[in-house]
Structure 1
Amino acid sequence: MSSPHPNSAILRRLREKQQTQQTRIHVEPTEVFEIPEDKCGLVIGKRGCKIQKIRSEAGVGVNLWDRNSAVDGMMKVYLWGDKKGCDKAKKIIMNLISESTEVFEIPEDMSGIVIGKGGSKVKQIRSETGVRVSLGSRDSALNSMIKVTLMGNKEGCDEAKTIIMNLISVVIKVFEIHKVMSGVLIGKGGSKVKQIQSETGVTVSVGSRDSAVGGMIKVTLIGNKEGCDKAKKVIMDIISEPTEVFEIHKDMSGIVIGKGGSKVKQIQSENRSNN
């Protein structure tokens, strides 16, 4: 069965737009009101997602003219349907465009998690909620707390605050790995653990081999849930590589290692060549 031609979707949207325009001409709108032209993006949403949601929730037709039709910075919003649905749609729209400001505090050492690398996390929050996010500098902290200011519609501010609080909520996740994998996980000079911490923003603590119970040691992760989940996945990927474990007498370890680790290096080199 052949897939539909890509132009078919475009043609369908054009027909729908034409039908909507004809409806506007032949059917008088139930209600018409104005909103600031610079707020229309909040009502329409990315690729029309917001206006489609309003139509679905209120059960009425909702349309805005092209932004070029704005007069004195104001645009008309047209509603078609029963009065109850139109009232609901108008209320949703007015809530969307109403500007509000919310200020709350977070621990200063969590600011990096909220900002993200190069401001990536703040940009993501702004993109998802349509809210402007501003964090006070760490130098402005009082009692180790800094202010976060959100500016936008109330719905977006509530959503942005929820995202931020989820980001900074500290959880402790503890799980076990076999003690022989501790070196692989920690890395030379702790390099692997440092890399995981840098990538996830989570504190990683690996129990000593002497603390092993039944050959297992504990790994403790401290950070936000998203980071802990990511760190655990990275760790499990690291230790799940094919491994064979066997024992030798401690007096024989020097023979296996060799002078300056020469024998181990030889074994590793030969293994790579065979693979």
Structure 2
Amino acid sequence: MAAAAASSSAGIVTIIDVDCEKWVVECLGANEEFKRLVPTMPWNTLVDTIMGRLHASGRTLRDVADVLRTAPLDPHVVAAVKACHAVGCDLRILSDANRFFIDAILDHHGLRGYFSEVVTNPSRVDDGSRLRIEPYHDFRAGSHGCWVGTCPPNLCKGQVLDCIRASVVAAAGKRHRLIYLGDGRGDYCPSLRLGPEDFVMPRKGFPVWDLICEDRARLQAEVHPWRDGAEMEKTLLRLVGRVLVEEGGKLPPPLEPLPVSVHDGVPMELRINN
């Protein structure tokens, strides 16, 4: 079984309780300029631009990393990640944030080793020690061609999810079941690409949940919504336990206390969650 942990289209909100880009901007005093530039350019370009402005004002990579380490992370999320990893889930991050931000947060909380892959916008430090954020898909060279219409120009998570699934099938020789967690508009496209044996966990009150609710019949996967870290942990571990039971396995120690039913979920006209 593979569990794909996804983030919002504007940061890793699914893992931490704030948008990481906005957290850096607010903590380092660039909020007014950030809000002024939001309507003028794509999000990925905006973050790179703001990093340049912060560097020009004297802010360092250490300053950015220190702020990221203070971003709130619900202990229920940490517990869920560790429990899923302990029972053999293949955990991956698919995020429209960037590698520097994600690594800083994962390293601070000791979580980097729990994820087999992080797919996000690349980052680098140029010769002037300025953090540069590049797009995952180079939209300046051409569109990624997604047909859904909710993906940002720099990253179609649906296409990436297809590649992840293909690589897992190639390596394991079979199709693994996916549990996809997300909250942003960019998480709607991969949700549509999940099959009836998969699960999507959209965060209630966030854009992906609103999009799913507009036409639930478009999804094949079961939908299991959640609101906070405690509900996310409970729902995710219940689904992991359910998959293990359905595939003829036994519940290992991290999951033994959980009530498991093959009828878990929210049976809407189709099958749902975040």
Q: TM-score, normalised by structure 1?
A: 0.21
More helix by share: 1
Q: TM-score, normalised by structure 2?
A: 0.21
More strand by share: 1
